[in-house]
Amino acid sequence: MGTITADLPLPDGRNLRVHDSGTDGFPLVWHHGTPQSGRLLSPVVEAAAARGFRVVSYGRPGYGGSTPVPGRTVGSAASDVRHLADALDLPRFAVAGASGGGPHALACAAGLPERTVAAVSLAGLAPFSEDYDWYAGMADDSALRTAREGRETRLQHEESGPPPFTDADWATLRGTWAPLGEDAGAASNAAAEADDDLAYAAPWGFPTADVRTSVLLVHGGEDQIVPASHSQWLLRNLPDAELWLRPRDGHISVLNALPTALDWLRHVLDR
């Protein structure tokens, strides 16, 4: 069976564009980064299928055919995933996300504790906190700083150049994860990206203490987009988490750890 893409009408009148790998296996809900369409990426599907997972994903509001929701929070992802899981008859599932997808995976663990069995966050952000310098280590923090000033200010922000990827990141985008770069380019959407940044930099709508399931955090030590200090903060503030710090990886090359992270997830499910 091939990938299935469908529009899911939500009770509030919105549309959610949903993608399903159509493979047999335990459901894994994948949360995409910023910007991405939510379409399934071959390196995710292939690594998951090899470990007995069926991958389901969706476009966050404003991306890839899903209705925009200005003012949405990170925590609101749990409601959308509840509707998705009900429609696909998924009583239990795991969640995983990369970059901006990491916080939304944690939102499901917090908001759907009876259904989320474990979570993986690769290069994910932590909630904005005064406990430490949230921006420290970011090569360009201007978009997130303007997001703290409101939606209109963030919408006026313009990127100053290419993202601050490492050489390893660019090599990864030329190789296994080329589909990610292609999708990101096609999914670029100023309003949706602004709404993502506002959600990251504002209260998430749930405390990290509510994430009771097992969480694996994976982060690159050379990440200049979301510094490793974010996963280190999450490690200290999540009830049940472990951190794999990969010192030579950047924001994209750390995704090469996904197969091993899914091995961890398989172990959690099988124990």
Predicted confidence at residue 131, as pLDDT, reads 87
In the chain, the N- to C-terminal Cα span, in Å, equals 29
Backbone angles phi, psi at 245, to 5 degrees: -95, 125
Cβ distance 56 to 89 under 8 Å?
Answer: no
The pLDDT assigned to 266 comes to: 97
* CB distance 133 to 266 below 8 Å: no
Q: Give me the percent of the chain exceeding a pLDDT of 90.
A: 95
Q: 259: which 2 tokens? A: 């197969």
Task: Answer whether 166's CB lies under 8 Å from 253's CB.
Answer: yes
Q: Which pLDDT does position 62 carry in this prediction? A: 98
Task: For residue 51, give every residue at least 6 positions away whose Cβ sits within 8 Å of its Cβ, in sequence order, or none.
Answer: 259, 262, 263, 265, 266
Over residues 252-266, the mean pLDDT reads 98
Average pLDDT over residues 111-136: 96
DSSP state of 204: -
For the chain, list the domains and their CATH numbers: 4-270 (3.40.50.1820)
Mind listing the pLDDT tens digit for each residue in 217-238? 999 999 999 999 999 999 999 9
pLDDT of residue 271: 86
* Per-residue confidence (pLDDT) for residue 110, from 0 to 100: 98
Helix (H, G, I), strand (E, B) or coil at 121: strand
User: What are all long-range contacts of 263-268, with beta carbons under 8 Å and residues at least 24 apart?
Assistant: 263/51, 264/120, 264/216, 265/28, 265/51, 265/53, 265/94, 265/96, 265/118, 265/120, 265/216, 266/51, 266/52, 266/53, 268/94, 268/117, 268/118, 268/214
Give the per-residue pLDDT at 53.
98
Structure confidence by residue, pLDDT tens digits, 9-31: 999 999 999 999 999 999 999 99
Residue 1 reports pLDDT greater than 80: no
Burial readout 99-114 (b: 16 or more C-beta within 10 A, e: otherwise): bbbbbbbbbbbbbbee
Digit-coded pLDDT (tens) for 65-110: 999 999 999 999 999 999 999 999 999 999 999 999 999 999 999 9
pLDDT for position 159: 83
pTM as predicted: 0.97
**Which residues on neighbouring strands pair with residue 29, listed in sequence order?**
56, 95
Q: Which two tokens stand for residue 198?
A: 């506002």
Q: Mean pLDDT, to the nearest integer, of 32-36?
A: 98
What are the tens digits of pLDDT across the range 186-209? Answer: 999 999 999 999 999 999 999 999
Q: What is the pLDDT of residue 2?
A: 72
Position 160 scores a pLDDT of 78
